[in-house]
Structure 1
Amino acid sequence: MEKATFGNGCFWCTEAVFQELEGVEKVESGYAGGPEENPTYKQVCSGTTGHAEVLQITYDPQKISYAELLEVFWKTHDPTTLNQQGNDVGPQYRSIVLYHNEEQKQLAEQYKQELDASGAFNSPIVTTIEPLTRYYPAEDYHQNYFNTHGHEPYCSFVIRPKVDKFRQVFKDKLKPAAAK
């Protein structure tokens, strides 16, 4: 198993997407990218800790590659908005790839460069690519959020449309249960 760490907005929304990928064994919401030790959700939401809401993804590279995870990362959020995803505003919602090794760094930088050069977006990509120095798991109530709170309005109106779109675009990469 290997790990990937991405921040692409609210972790409730992005966790639901990555959980459905074949080869992904675990998705954990957490905080990374800032100097504050053991931050709480309330502290991170204040925008003063330097941390972003991130996902730490444990995956089987025999079933899904880091490059495929990057593809999902880039295509399931807007990497051109600085410190914002939809209505979520602040540095804690920034677009960030936190690499675990030199190979991940090179793949992320290459993908970003190619995507920027392709003209896929009308604005430049602002995603930062940084080494993962520290990662802190989010509080238990943030884990598996969409699957346990799918009936709540935020999940119905914000997360579900994102998951439905993801399922259409990446139907060939879904776990069998998610493909139904």
Structure 2
Amino acid sequence: MVPSLTAQDCARGITEVVPRLMRLIRRQMRRHQPGRLSVPQFRTLLYLHHHPGASLSAVAEHLGVARPTASALVNRLVQRGLVTRNIDPAERRRVVLHLTDAGRQDLEVARRRTEAELAERLAGFRPEELAALAAGLRLLERVAAEVAEPASAGGRAKPAGPRLPEEVEEG
């Protein structure tokens, strides 16, 4: 008999498992990305990928650092040709940030290699386990969708995250 789980049990499980999984993903992505970025630099590229046109303040808030720290970090990414930093023509005191083609390419290489490595780890799972994992990910996506992100650019809606499979085919 499977014991009945409470919302508190699930919350505890999430807070224990998700950080470990994120460390694994970050470690794999850092290992596979071409430029050997620091963790904050890499997190900044990921953030800008999901929030094009984000402000420096939004990046600072995302990283949990002061604005001058974020500015110095972004300057290094600009110098490496991975990010552009421009004045917002509508609001002169605001800086808007975008990935360059090189920044997107570095991220994509790291993402593809990391997903391939994660797929190898999941290859031994039974189809019903993969289906259960996909169902759990959809539920976590619902929880994450309720978390307010800082406005990325002039009130624009945040782009949708990756789409999770509706179901996993057996076979």
Q: Shared topology, TM-score over 0.5?
A: no
| Structure number with higher strand proportion | 1
| Structure number, greater radius of gyration | 2
How does the TM-score come out when normalised to structure 1? 0.28
